[in-house]
Amino acid sequence: MDLKRTLNKWGELLGNPDWYSAVVSDIEDIRKEYNDKGEAEQNGVKNGIYDFFERHIRANDIALDEYPPDADAERKPIDTIVIHHTSNPPGMSRERLSAIELVRLYAPEFAAPKRAEDAGMKGRPIYSGHFREGRQVFWPYHWFVRGDGTVERLLEDDEIGWQAGSWDVNCRSAAICFDGNFENARPLDVELAAAARIIKEHYPQVAHERILGHREVNPKTTCPSNLFLSSAHHRGWKNDLLLLLK
Ligand SMILES: [Zn+2]
C-alpha cells in the first residue's frame, strides 16, 4: 500500500456523502498490512492518516450531514464519570481530536452501525450533531485536562460523547480525558487536582463508586493507564484521584 496514493484517492472522495465507506475499508486493509510491522512504522502511517484528516477538518471540505437529526435525544442525567487519556503525545489540538475521532469512531459506525436502531445511518453523510461556530466537532469527551493543570470544556453536558464503548454508559456519563500518554505513567499532581476540581464543581451528584476508568467499562482497552487500578504491588492513581475528592 502506498499511503500517498491512498490519501490522494481519499482527497478526491471527501466531497461525496458516503466518502467514509472506501476510507473505512482501506484502513482495514492498512491495519492488516501493518499488523506485524514495528511500532514506529505503525505510528508513522497512523499519524499520516490523522494529519490528512486534521488538514481537511480545518479546511472544512469533508461532506457531512449539515441538517442532522437530534443526536442527543437519549441523553440521561449524569450519574457516572469516565476517565480517559489520549494515548498520544501531549498538546493535542481540538481539531486533531476531532479528526481522530471522526476516523476512529464515527466513520466505522456509519459504515456498519452496531445498533439495530442506527441501521439508517449506513451510507448517509456523517454527523455528530455537535456544532461549534457552525461546524460539527467529533469530540468524544466533555473535558480535556492539560499538562499544566488547565482544563478545557469540550462537549456540553447535554451532549452524548462516544467514548465508553457502551451506549448506556455514554448516555449517562461525562468523560474527562488527560491530554497525553499515561499508558505506563501517572498524571502529575496538578493534573489529578484539575480532574478532581472538575468533578467537585460540575458533578457533585456522582457517587464515587461511579467514577470509572474507561477500562472498567470496556475491558478491551487499557485506557486510561496500566497504573490506574491498584494491584497487590502498587496503589493505582485512581485511588489518588478519589482521595482528592474526600
Ligand atoms: Zn479511553
pLDDT band at 115, cuts 50/70/90?
confident
Q: Tell me whether residue 164 is in a domain.
A: yes
Model confidence band, residue 1 (pLDDT cutoffs 50, 70, 90)? confident
What is the Å distance from ligand 1's center to 12 Cα? Answer: 32
In this structure, the answer to whether residues 101 and 194 fall within a common structural domain is yes
CA 83 to ligand 1 center in whole angstroms = 7
100 and 206 fall within a common domain: yes
Q: Does 66 reside within a domain?
A: no
**Structural domain contains residue 151:** yes
pLDDT for the residue numbered 117: 87
Residues 123 and 84 in one domain: yes
- pLDDT over threshold 90, residue 78: yes
- The CA-atom distances, in angstroms, between 225 and each of 53, 96, 101 are 27, 21, 19
Q: Under a CB-based contact definition with an 8 Å cutoff, are residues 151 and 203 in contact?
A: no
Residue 68 lies in a domain: no
Looking at residue 37, its pLDDT comes to 93
Residue 198 lies in a domain: yes
In a domain, 75, yes or no: no
**Predicted pLDDT at 174:** 98
Tell me how far the alpha carbon of residue 224 lies from the centroid of ligand 1, in angstroms: 6
Q: CA 122 to CA 103: how far, in whole Å?
A: 15
Residues 84 and 53 in one domain: no
Ligand 1 centroid, distance to 173 Cα (angstroms): 13
Does 2 score more than 90 pLDDT?
A: no
What's the mean pLDDT when you consider all of the chain? 96
Measure the CA–CA gap between 6 and 112, rounded to whole angstroms.
21
pLDDT digits (tens, 9 = 90+) for 125-155: 999 999 999 999 999 999 999 999 999 999 9
Domain check: are 20 and 138 in the same one? no
| Mean pLDDT to the nearest integer, 13-26 | 96
Ligand 1 center–CA 9 separation, angstroms: 31
- Distance in Å, CA 141 to ligand 1 centroid: 9
Residues 41 and 142 in one domain: no
54 and 135 inside one domain: no
CA–centroid distance, 180 to ligand 1, in Å, is 12
Report how far ligand 1's centroid is from the alpha carbon of 182 (Å): 11
Cα–ligand 1 centroid distance for 119 (angstroms): 25
CATH of the domain at 232: 3.40.80.10
Is residue 213 domain-shared with residue 95, that is, in the same domain? yes
Say if residue 44 is in the same domain as residue 139.
Answer: no
In a domain, 44, yes or no: yes
Which of 118, 1, 106 is CA-nearest to residue 57? 106
Domain count, the chain: 2
Cα 164 to ligand 1 centroid, rounded to whole Å: 7
For the segment 51-72, what is each residue's pLDDT rounded down to a tens digit? 999 999 999 999 999 999 999 9
pLDDT for position 126: 97
Outline where DSSP puts E strands in 108-210.
131-132, 135-136, 143-145, 151-153, 173-178
Question: Cell match 469516565: residue?
Answer: 82
Q: Which residue has the cell 447535554?
A: 158
- pLDDT band, very low/low/confident/very high, at 49 (cuts 50, 70, 90): very high
Q: What is the pLDDT of residues 208-226, one digit of tens each?
A: 999 999 999 999 999 999 9
Judge if 55 and 167 occupy the same domain. Answer: no
Burial of 26 (C-beta count, 10 Å sphere; 0-12/13-18/19+) = middle
CA of 5 to the centre of ligand 1 (A): 31
DSSP symbol at 79: -
Q: To the nearest whole percent, how much of the chain has pLDDT over 90?
A: 93
Same-domain pairing of 88 and 21? no
Same domain, 43 and 104: no
Task: Report if residue 70 sits inside a domain.
Answer: no
Centre of ligand 1 from the C-alpha of residue 162, in Å: 10
**How far is the centre of ligand 1, averaged over its atoms, from the C-alpha of 177 (Å)?**
8
Neighbours of ion ligand 1 (CB under 5 A): 84, 214, 223
d(CA 34, CA 60): 29
Residue range(s) defining the domain that contains residue 223: 80-244
User: What does the radius of gyration of the chain's CA atoms come to, in whole angstroms?
Assistant: 18
Rounded Cα gap, residues 163 and 217, in angstroms:
10
Judge whether 78 and 166 are in contact, CB under 8 Å: no
Q: What is residue 18's predicted lDDT score, i.e. its pLDDT? A: 95
Q: Provide the grid cell at 80.
A: 457516572
